[in-house]
Structure 1
Amino acid sequence: MARQPQHSVIPDSAVDRLVAEVKGEVFLPDDPGYEAELDGFNRIGRHHPALVVGAVTAEDVAAAVRLGTELGLPVGVQATGHGIAAPAGDAVLVTTHRMNAVAVDPIARIARVEAGARWHQVIATAAYHGLAPLNGSSHLVGVVGYTLGGGLGPLGRLYGYAADHVTRVHLVTADGRHRTVTRDSDPELFWALRGGKGNFGIVTALEFGLVPVARLYGGGLYFPGTEAAAVLDTWRTWTAGLPETLTSSVALLRLPGLHQVPGHPAGELAVHVRIAFTGTREDGEELLRPLRAAGTLLADTVAEMPYSAVAEIHQDPTEPLPYHERNIVLREFDEGALAALLAAAGPGSGCTDPMVEVRHLGGALSRPPAVPNAVGRDGAFTLSTLSLPGSSDAVLGPLSGWSTGRRYLNFLAGADTARSAEDCFDRATFARLLQVKKRHDPHNVFRLGHALLPEPS
C-alpha cells in the first residue's frame, strides 16, 4: 500500500520503494514512532532527519545509503546516541539498535558483533569463556562507534586501544556496496576506519580480538573535595612508576548523587580515583597503599571482581541525560598543570561541571599497534569534561599550555564539537585520512557526526 504524502525533501515514490525494499521500519517526521526512534543517551542534541530507517539487516543499511546518495542527502547512523554532534536535519538516518547480535569464538579469541551491539553484551558473552574485550568505562556504549573512534578503556595501558584489536570490518560505503575490509583486502581503508570513526561508511558488523582477562583488582577510592589538592598530587606522582597492568584515572565529581558514598551531599565535590589492575590482590594492595593514605577515604570499593563487573569501576551514569563532552590531550600533568586544574575545577573554583577527569595513558596506549591505524598516541594523559547544557568550556582553556594540541575523538559530544575532528589527528594523519575519504566518499555522503569534511555552515 502506498504511503500518504508527507512534507519531506524525499519524494513519496522514493519512500514507497524503500519501504518495499527493507525489512526494518521506515519513519517519516509525521509517523508514530518517529520521535521515539530518535531517542539517544545524550540529550544535548536531537536529530530531526527527513527519514529514518530502523535497520534490521545489512541490506537495510545499504538501501538507506543508496537512497541518500541518489537524492544527494547526507546519511548518518545512530546506535546508542552517546556521541551526538550536530543534529541531523534534511538527512537519512539509520538506527542500528535492532542489529545487536554478538558471537564469540573462544578458541580464536575473536568476537563478532553487529552494528547496534552494546559493550555489556560482549563483556558477558566473553566472560563465560574467561575472556574480555577492550571495552570502555560504560557498559551501555555501542561497540562500533566506540571502537572506530579508538576505544580507551580500563585495560588500555596493558593492551592498547580497542581499534588495535579489530581484525575485520563489514561496511556499506557511499556507493551502497557491501565491503569486507581487512588489513589484506584494503590496507589503507582498514587503517582509516580504525580511528577515523564513521567518515567512510556505515559499519554493519565488526570482528575483533579478545584478551585473556577474567578478573580484576578494581574499583574506586572516594575522597572529600576539600582534599582534592593532596589526592590529585599523590595520584599525579604515583602514576610515574606504575606497571602497565594498572590503568587508572581521577575525577572531580559534582553529581546529583554518589550512591557509592552514602550520605554524601548531592552535588558537593568529591574526588574519585578509578583503578583497574590485572595483577594479584596482594600486589594491588601494595601499589595502592600511597593512594589510600592520600586523604580521608569516604568509600573504598577496590577489591577482587570478575571482569563482568568492570562497569562498577567508573560508575558512569546509566540514565539518559544532556551533557557537553569536551577534552584535550596533555603531554604531561606536572605541578603547574595540577595547580591550573585546581584553580579551574577544584574546591572554591565555581566550576559546575558534573565531571572533570584525568586519564593516565602510556604503556600500550603510547606504542604503535601490530597493524597500524589512525589513532593518535602522542599524549601522557587525557583531560575531559562533562558539562551542563548551555555551558562553555571553563576548564580546558586554562590547561591549554600543557596540551599536545590534540583531542580524543570519542570524548566529544554536543554541537560545539561537530568541527573538532581535525583537532584529533596530527597534520600528516589528517591529510592521509582525507585521501581515503575522497576515494571512498567523494561526495561527502557521510558528513554527519564528527566529520572530516563537515557540511558548510
Structure 2
Amino acid sequence: MSRTTPDDTVGHIPSTAFRADVVELVATLDGDARTADDPGYAEACAGYNLAGQRRPDVVVTAHSASDVVEAVTFAAAHDLPVAVIATGHHAMRPLVGGLLVVTSAMAEVHVDPEARRAVVGAGARWDDVVRRTLEHHLLPVHGSSGQVGAVGFTLGGGLSPVLGRKYGWGSDHVVALDVVTASGELVRACAEEHAELFWALRGGRSNLGIVTSMEIELFPVDRFIGGGLFFDGEHAQAVLDAFTTATASAPDDLTLSLAFLRLPPVPGVPPLLAGHFVLHVRVAYLGDAEGADRLLAPLRAAAPLLADTVEETRAEDFARIHEDPTDPAPFSEETAMLAEVGPAAQQTLLDFVGPSSDAGLHIVELRHLGGAFDVTRAGAGAIVAPSAQYVLWVVSIGMPADDGDGIAEARALVETMQPWSTGTRYLNFAPDDGHPERSFTPADWSRLQRTKAAVDPGNVFRAQQPIVTS
C-alpha cells in the first residue's frame, strides 16, 4: 500500500489505491469516511479549537462502536497513527496524515434513575447529558460549558464548577468504560476487568484507546445558586484579596473561580466585557439563597459591582456561571496547579496581569479546588491533586502562527507562578508542549508509561497528546 504525501494547501492527496481502500471501509461503516478530495472533508475534521489544524489521510465520522473498531483496524492495516475528537475543545495538536475518528454523532445518553447512573456516548455534550439526567432530578459531575464533550472532559480529570468541591473529579465517578484498543478490540474497562487500562484512561485521556461510551454516577441535584459577580479591573487587588479570603473558608457546597478578562470586541463577546479589563467571580452554591448571600457578602462588598447575576438557577442552565463562548475560535492554553495563593503569590499575579500591567492575555483564571478534591478515593484514576488548592488557567486567543507573543506571555506567567506550584497541572488545560509528564506525579507517570507499553506497544494512538513520543 503506497502512503500519501503532504500538501500544504489541501492536506494529503490520497493515491488511487488508498481511495479504493477507503471506499471499501465506507461499506463497513454506519457512519462515513472521507479523504481530502471528498466533499465535507474539512467540515468533518474541524473542531471547536480552530488552532488545532487537522489534515488526516482519512477522517471517519463514527456512528457506532463498530465504526471505531473498523477505523482502528483500517489504520493498523495501513500503518496510520490514530487520533480522536468529539467536539475538539481541547484538541490543538496538528494532525498531518494518519486517521482521525470523529465521535460527535455518538451522542446517546441512557439514564438508570434507580441506580443513579448514566451511560454516555463518546460524542455526547454536557448539554445532551444534563438534559436527560435532569428528567430524573439527577446531575453528573459536568463542566462549565454545555458544548464540551462529556467523555473527553471526564477522561482529562473533569473539574466541575458546580459539583467538584462536593464530589471531586469527574473521573472519580466513572463506573466503566467501553474502549477500542490499539488491536481493534472492543473491551469493557472497569475495576474488575482491564483494571489497569481503566485506571490510566481516567486522567490519561485518549492516548491509550478510544472510549466509545462511559458509565458514570449521578447525584440528586436539580437547582443551585449560581451566576457571576463582575467588577472593573481597576479593583483587581481588592477583589483578589476577597476571593482568596472567601475560598480559604468556603464550605464544600460553594465553588468559586476568579477570571481576569481582557476580551477583544468581537462578535459573541458581551458588551460588558468587550474591549474592557473586567474581573469575573464565578459562583455555584448547592445551598439556599440565604446561605449564598451570607457567603458572598464580603465579595459583593469588595468593590463596586458592574453586574451581579447570582440567583437561583436551574441545573440545566449551568453554562451561565462561566458564560464560555460557544462559537469556535483559535486559542492556546497554559496551566499549573497551585498549592496556595497567599500575599506573595497574589502580588506576583497582580504585577503580571493587574490594572497597572500591559498584559495582553485574554483569560487568566483561578479555579478553587479543595473540598472533595483533597480526598483520594479508593480506585481513583491517574489524576491526584491532594495538595493543590487552585488551578491556574491562562488563555491566549489567536492562531499559533500569529500569536507567538501571547503564547510566550502565557508561558511566562505560569513560570512566574512556579514557586507556588505543586509541580503538576490539570490535563484538560495543559498545552501539548512536549512535556506530558508535567501533568502527573512521577509515580503515576511511570505507571502510565508501563500501561501504554502494554495496551498500545506500537503507539498507534501517538497522534494524541503523547504518553510516549516515539
Structure 1 stretches lacking a partner, 5+ long: 1-5
1:448 and 2:466 matched: no
Kindly tell me the number of residue pairs found equivalent between the two proteins.
447
**Structure-2 residue corresponding to 1:141:** 148
For the 8 Å contact 1:253–1:355, the answer to whether it is kept is yes
User: 265-274 or 147-156: which moved more?
Assistant: 265-274
SS in 1 for 2:55: coil
Give the C-alpha shift of residue 14 in structure 1. 2.8
Distance 1:260 1:201 in 2: 35
Question: For residues 251-290 of structure 1, what are the structure 2 equivalents within 5 Å?
Answer: 251-256=259-264, 264=272, 266-290=274-298
Give the C-alpha shift of residue 21 in structure 1. 1.5
Aligned partner (choices 398, 401, 408) of residue 426 of structure 2: 408
Give the C-alpha shift of residue 225 in structure 1. 0.2
1:75 and 2:69 matched: no
Structure 2 stretches lacking a partner, 5+ long: 1-11
**Structure-2 residue corresponding to 1:164:** 172
Aligned partner (choices 376, 381, 386) of residue 373 of structure 1: 381
**Structure-2 residue corresponding to 1:3:** none
Q: TM-score, normalised by structure 2?
A: 0.92
Aligned-pair identity (%): 44
Aligned partner (choices 129, 138, 149) of residue 131 of structure 1: 138
For the 8 Å contact 2:60–2:101, the answer to whether it is kept is yes
SS in 1 for 2:74: helix
Give the C-alpha shift of residue 170 in structure 1. 0.5
SS in 2 for 1:198: helix
Question: For residues 47-62 of structure 1, what are the structure 2 equivalents within 5 Å?
Answer: 47-62=54-69
1:100 and 2:115 matched: no
Give the C-alpha shift of residue 420 in structure 1. 3.4
SS in 2 for 1:351: coil
SS in 2 for 1:311: helix
User: 186-195 or 269-278: which moved more?
Assistant: 186-195
For the 8 Å contact 1:170–1:203, the answer to whether it is kept is yes
Distance 1:78 1:162 in 2: 19
Distance 2:36 2:271 in 1: 46
Q: Taking structure 1 as reference, are residues 83 and 420 closer, same or farther at Cα in structure 2, changes over 3 Å only?
A: farther
Distance 1:35 1:146 in 2: 24
1:18 and 2:36 matched: no
For the 8 Å contact 2:262–2:273, the answer to whether it is kept is no
Aligned partner (choices 233, 243, 247) of residue 239 of structure 1: 247
Distance 1:181 1:227 in 2: 49
What do the CA deviations read for 1:309-361 (whole angstroms, capped 9, x no partner)?
Answer: 11100111111111101101111111111111111111121111111000111
For the 8 Å contact 2:268–2:325, the answer to whether it is kept is no
Give the C-alpha shift of residue 453 in structure 1. 1.0
Q: TM-score, normalised by structure 1?
A: 0.94
Distance 1:57 1:240 in 2: 46
Question: For residues 30-429 of structure 1, what are the structure 2 equivalents within 5 Å?
Answer: 30-154=37-161, 155-256=163-264, 264=272, 266-377=274-385, 378-389=387-398, 390=403, 391=406, 392=408, 393=410, 394-413=412-431, 417-429=432-444
User: 160-169 or 19-28: which moved more?
Assistant: 19-28
| Backbone CA RMSD of aligned residues | 1.8
Q: Taking structure 1 as reference, are residues 405 and 330 closer, same or farther at Cα in structure 2, changes over 3 Å only?
A: same
SS in 1 for 2:54: coil
What do the CA deviations read for 1:195-223 (whole angstroms, capped 9, x no partner)?
Answer: 11001110111110011111111110000
What do the CA deviations read for 1:267-310 (whole angstroms, capped 9, x no partner)?
Answer: 21100001111011111111111111000101001111111111
Runs of 4+ aligned structure 1 residues displaced above 4 Å come to 257-263
Distance 1:317 1:46 in 2: 20
**Structure-1 residue corresponding to 2:9:** none
